[in-house]
Amino acid sequence: MKRDKVFCEHCREDVEYSVLEAVQKGNLKGEEYEFIGKRTICNECSSDVFVAEIEDENLKSLYDSYRKINGIISLEKILEISQKYSIGKRPLSLLLGWGELTFTRYCDGDMPTKQYSDILQRVYDDPEYFKKLLVENKERLKSAATFEKSMKKVLELLKENGETRTKFELIIKYLLYCCEDITPLALQKALYYVQGFYYAFMKAFLFDEDCEAWVHGPVYRDIYKRYAEYQIDPIYKESDFDVSVFNDVEKAIIDSVVQYFCCYSGKMLESFTHSEMPWLKTRDDLPANVNSNRIISKVDIGEYFSAVKEKYNMIRYNDIEEYAKSLFASCLKCC
């Protein structure tokens, strides 16, 4: 693609240039990072030429690569937060107990620490958490109008005028509340086991969402996107949860999954699912490392976990312990 002319040091004159996509490397905070950037090439001699705006784009791509690898919230999400909650940059910084200009600096491109990044990620993801901050730290804001405007917006986001959160979302919140160090990988598998064992005991599915047969086991795509930036790090722990949203059976089954499955690492739970029919059948003849968006049939999940319940003579919900132990033992033999 041709652009305006720039000076080529090799040709010693202004020349037209082309922009090419290329894998590049850059150093940031003492480490080297690889990213997809752009090269600007002189159309006359094919030498690299300097174009300020392209270099700015490459620098942003380098920073984006650093953020992704180190689990730092993206600049785009940071910029969305103020608009999402109808609150200014300085009031938001004060609400969080930071310096008045801290959030403004992050909006201008400064890199937040991992601790501050996790807070911003949670604010971005969770309107309920932001609402809690807004109520508890109201006195930090300099005007009642700021509080009222932001509260109105967060209530709209939460849809508190009669609409409740889905069972799926509530289960996620509860798992994050119960588990100390649950990674995105472990969360995915916990959701899968909650769905399977609930069907085994109740002959009904607890939530409607489908999971896909990814390389690393069953995955709920939207949840993967939501927590992707955590990578292998634990997701933030919920500080409180109203368990009354679940009936006794729902809570008992989820608690059993937490107790007997969430005690294992995400990689171990991945190994568990790799030995089970629903994932194996859906993957079928796919090579081990080939990506797939094939949906794991709820029929297969229901049939498999019903058979597991019968095989292990599960009468009480905590009888799933024996199945978890057998999966662990099988994985150890394969190591």
- pLDDT tens-digit readout, 100-118: 999 999 998 888 888 898 8
Mean pLDDT of the region 268-282: 96
Same domain assignment for residues 32 and 88? no
pLDDT surpasses 50 at 163: no
Same domain assignment for residues 179 and 324? yes
Write down the pLDDT at residue 3: 60
Same domain assignment for residues 204 and 317? yes
Same domain assignment for residues 286 and 176? yes
CATH number at residue 56: 3.10.20
Write down the pLDDT at residue 263: 94
Question: Domain boundary at 50, 70, 90, which?
Answer: 70
- The parent domain of residue 90 ranges over 75-158
Confidence of residue 162 (pLDDT cuts 50, 70, 90): very low
241-264 pLDDT, tens per residue?
888 889 899 999 999 999 999 999
Residue 52 in any domain: the answer is yes
Mean pLDDT of the region 254-275: 96
Residue 301 in any domain: the answer is yes
Question: Domain boundary at 21, 43, 70, which?
Answer: 70
Residue 292 in any domain: the answer is yes
**Percent residues over pLDDT 70 in the chain:** 97
Mean pLDDT of the region 27-46: 83
Residue 243 in any domain: the answer is yes
Same domain assignment for residues 133 and 172? no
Same domain assignment for residues 186 and 149? no
Residue 297 in any domain: the answer is yes
Residue 1 in any domain: the answer is no
Residue 326 in any domain: the answer is yes
Domain tally, the chain: 3
Q: Which of 27-31, 162-166, 232-236, 259-263 has the lowest mean pLDDT?
A: 162-166
The CA-based angle 289-187-246, given to 5 degrees, is 145
139 contact partners, CB below 8 Å, separation of at least 6 = none
Question: Domain boundary at 158, 184, 214, which?
Answer: 158
Same domain assignment for residues 174 and 234? yes
Same domain assignment for residues 84 and 202? no
Residue 322 in any domain: the answer is yes
Same domain assignment for residues 326 and 220? yes
Same domain assignment for residues 187 and 149? no
Same domain assignment for residues 41 and 183? no
Confidence of residue 132 (pLDDT cuts 50, 70, 90): confident
Same domain assignment for residues 153 and 41? no
Write down the pLDDT at residue 199: 96
Write down the pLDDT at residue 58: 83
User: Within 13 Å, how many C-alpha atoms sit on residue 87's CB side?
Assistant: 32
Write down the pLDDT at residue 164: 54
